[in-house]
Structure 1
Amino acid sequence: MAVSKGKYIKLQGKKWSTFQLSKMIMALVLALGFFMLIALRFFSPPETSHHRLPSVRRTAFQSDGLGKRGDQWVEFISWEPRAFVYHNFLSKEECLYLISLAKPHMEKSTVVDSKTGKSVDSRVRTSSGMFLNRGQDKIISNIEKRIADFTFIPIEHGEGLQILHYEVGQKYDAHYDYFVDEYNIKKGGQRMATLLMYLSDVEEGGETVFPAAKGNFSSVPWWNELSECGKGGLSVKPKMGDALLFWSMKPDATLDPTSLHGACPVIRGNKWSCTKWMHVNKYI
């Protein structure tokens, strides 16, 4: 195809004809359209979206860890604090594996003393728990990589996984995950986010509740299944394999007081969970 003289544009020292430019623009438009189709394919809302808050969905696929996960999708539940539920983050096999690792080593849970920064016994937390080493085995490493991919926080910024067990009547009163002492901040900077993974279903109670959250608490689709404690704020009901991500810091790096949260008492059944705390800097 002939191009008339003079119809050239000079870009970065090279002459481009109007025909060449139009071909390049068309290729970019087609590429953009392709990526939009891919995005719609993998991040379309679930079929029951008219019953739920805004969400995105991923098609089920073979897990990169132990066992096979079901249909995976992320559900936004709050902006104050920023909180999201990743459904089927863990497979059933991974949940049972974490519980089996922890069972022989469970001890009474402690809390951080705000003055000394050391762990102490407290009546506000009545569960039992234990810590796993970061990268302890291949299955743990796969889970930690999955957490990093989801949160965009490097593996090295996270503490080791903590496994927790709540029996009937056990709970954890409302508290913050961020630190107010200098001792703990030295290890990796402030805690910026928490991923709480549920390793079991709970027959009744055991919700994670945010009493200082802002918004319409009753808009969550599981509202009618909550205990009285759970209806005291924005709450998430434990479900095996689901993971709750919430941020203790705002996007401007200030601490978020609406991230105040607690574990409601278990009324019936047992509650197993796994916590990953993530820091601003590399955790030592």
Structure 2
Amino acid sequence: MKFIFGILSFVTVGLIIGSVSQLAFYDNWKTHMTFHRHIVVINIEMFVLPCIPSLKNDKEAEILRPGYVKPEVLSWSPRIILLRNFLSMEECEYLKALGYPHLQNSRVIDDKTGKGVDTKRRTSSGMFLSSKDRKHPMVQAIERRISIYAQVPVENGEPMQILRYEKNQYYELHLDYFSDTYDLKNNGQRIATMLMYLSDNVEGGETYFPKGGSDECNCGGKIVKGLSVKPVKGNAVLFWSMGLSGQ
């Protein structure tokens, strides 16, 4: 039986702006890094190439996976961005190995108490990364990458959650922003979600956005209106539950 692994990282406080434009700027910088200055010395033209630091020794650039991550805007309203090759295959396998021994029945947060409760609306299994897990260099690199692409500080994010969906398991339609007073008071608003896929060659398992457009898409073997993202190992989808105005 094939499993579908997924990992959620919920981004909490702050406004998210310019993630796509930042990526476009970075790509443009990379494309035009071999520019020259025009210098005239005694009627002899000389071309001087500036000294550009090598990306091989730039740890911050390595975290971004330049040349691998390919962003694609799927929808502007709601804002949904697909990030192809966001994770390396090594990162996918490490996260699966990290989470597999600790999986438990997935829960939802009770609006009144803020505690996790069992529900038939969510039938997957999962676990949250511990503070010890988050100290691993590979996990820190992923969290930093999420922060840069989402334009939200690492410390404003919830711990990553590793999820597994087996055959016929699901999470029913739901909202990722908070409407209860407990979460708003104790945790702040959740404004965006990064969902990363750790498995490939699966049947079903689409993430479905019913308001992502008027086109037809496949979700759970059914043709429906909206937008769906199929699990592809290493890909990620970044979507916002709030606008720039905070609504």
Q: What's the TM-score once normalised by structure 2's chain length?
A: 0.71
Aligned CA distance change for structure 1 residues 138 and 249 (closer, same or farther; 3 Å): same
Q: CA deviation at 1:81?
A: 1.1
CA–CA distance in structure 2, aligned partners of residues 36 and 128 of structure 1: 37
Counterpart for residue 235 of structure 1: 228
Counterpart for residue 23 of structure 1: none
Q: CA deviation at 1:64?
A: 3.2
Q: CA deviation at 1:126?
A: 0.3
CA–CA distance in structure 2, aligned partners of residues 211 and 151 of structure 1: 22
Counterpart for residue 210 of structure 1: 209
Counterpart for residue 154 of structure 1: 153
Alignment of 1:120 with 2:131, yes or no, is: no
1:64 to 54, 62, 65: 62
Counterpart residue type for residue 198 of structure 1: Y
2:246 to 240, 250, 253: 253
Counterpart for residue 172 of structure 1: 171
Aligned residues: 195
Mapping of residues 81-96 of structure 1, within 5 Å: 81-96=78-93
Q: CA deviation at 1:229?
A: 4.2
**Which consecutive aligned stretches of 4+ in structure 1 deviate over 6 angstroms post-superposition?**
none
Q: Secondary structure at the match of 1:164?
A: strand
CA–CA distance in structure 1, aligned partners of residues 27 and 228 of structure 2: 34
Q: Check conservation: 1:69, 1:90, Cα contact below 8 A.
A: no
Q: Secondary structure at the match of 1:77?
A: strand
Q: CA deviation at 1:114?
A: 2.5
In structure 1, the gaps of 5 or more residues are 1-34, 43-60, 255-284
Aligned CA distance change for structure 1 residues 194 and 230 (closer, same or farther; 3 Å): farther
Q: What's the TM-score once normalised by structure 1's chain length?
A: 0.62
CA–CA distance in structure 1, aligned partners of residues 215 and 197 of structure 2: 21
Q: Larger Cα Rg: Structure 1 or Structure 2? A: 1
Mapping of residues 1-284 of structure 1, within 5 Å: 38-39=28-29, 41=31, 64=62, 71-133=68-130, 135-213=134-212, 215-218=213-216, 223=217, 227-229=220-222, 231-254=224-247
Q: Check conservation: 1:69, 1:88, Cα contact below 8 A.
A: no
227-236 or 160-169, larger mean C-alpha shift: 227-236
Q: CA deviation at 1:227?
A: 4.0
Q: Check conservation: 1:193, 1:249, Cα contact below 8 A.
A: yes
Counterpart residue type for residue 168 of structure 2: G
CA–CA distance in structure 2, aligned partners of residues 143 and 163 of structure 1: 13
Higher relative contact order (CA 8 A, sep 6+): 2
Q: CA deviation at 1:243?
A: 0.6
CA–CA distance in structure 2, aligned partners of residues 121 and 205 of structure 1: 24
Q: Secondary structure at the match of 1:153?
A: coil
Q: Check conservation: 1:77, 1:83, Cα contact below 8 A.
A: yes
In structure 2, the gaps of 5 or more residues are 1-24, 33-55
Could you report, residue by residue, the CA deviation over 1:102-141 in whole angstroms, capped at 9, with x for unpaired residues? 0110000001123333211000100000000353311110
CA–CA distance in structure 2, aligned partners of residues 36 and 91 of structure 1: 20
Q: Secondary structure at the match of 2:62?
A: coil
128-137 or 241-250, larger mean C-alpha shift: 128-137
